Amino acid sequence: MCRPPNERERAAARERLFCPTLVRAVLRWLEKLGVPRCHRGDVAGQVWVSAWESWSRFDPTRGTPERWLNGITVHVASRYHERAQRRREELVDWIDAVDPAPDAAAVMESDSIRTGVIDAVNDLDPDLRSILVAHDLNGVSMAQIAEDVELPISTLYKRRAKAIEALREILRSRYARELSMRKGGRLR
């Protein structure tokens, strides 16, 4: 009962087969067959390569081109799933990512430094402290401070320089004291 395929039937089948509607149909079939979205395009490409390679064996008297393409899609999807079960991923060593957030020790150290600086600023002479706090911490311009305290700007800049030097000296002496206490504590 099988008769040889008519070339006109094959040409009509080819026109029906290689059209944009069936491209979308293959993607839908692969979705229904459980092929993940990230691999669907590659598997669909394999379907179309298989269809092109086996086109010479297509017999339009045995069924529609859509049904023939669906059979190829099922076969390619089945091979994909078989390979996926045997697929092995090679894990690499963990990459140490630098966390931009400080850890607890860094936060404690930062808080300790901040507290030490605030204490040192509080130990300054009140005239020097007021200029340093107003200008460097509160962001008030030197011209505004000069106007408020009725002193020349040059005098304020000199006081600010003295305040910074005094602050450095206080911090140096505290650091030296802490260092000697640590060394003394270790020796005992």
Q: Which residues contact 6 (CB under 8 A, 6 or more apart)?
A: 60
CB atoms within 10 A of CB 139: 7
Burial of 159 per CB tally in 10 Å (0-12, 13-18, 19+): buried
Q: What is the set of domains in the chain, with CATH numbers? A: 7-86 (1.10.1740), 105-187 (1.10.10.10)
Report residue 169 as tokens. Answer: 């000296």
CB-based contact 112:68 (threshold 8 Å): no
Residues 130-178 pLDDT 10s: 988 899 888 899 999 999 999 999 999 999 999 999 989 998 998 888 8
Residues 24-79 pLDDT 10s: 889 999 999 999 998 898 999 999 889 888 888 878 788 888 888 899 999 999 99
Provide the whole-model pTM: 0.42
CA 139/CA 133 separation, integer angstroms: 8
Q: Which residues contact 132 (CB under 8 A, 6 or more apart)?
A: 121, 124, 160, 163, 164, 167
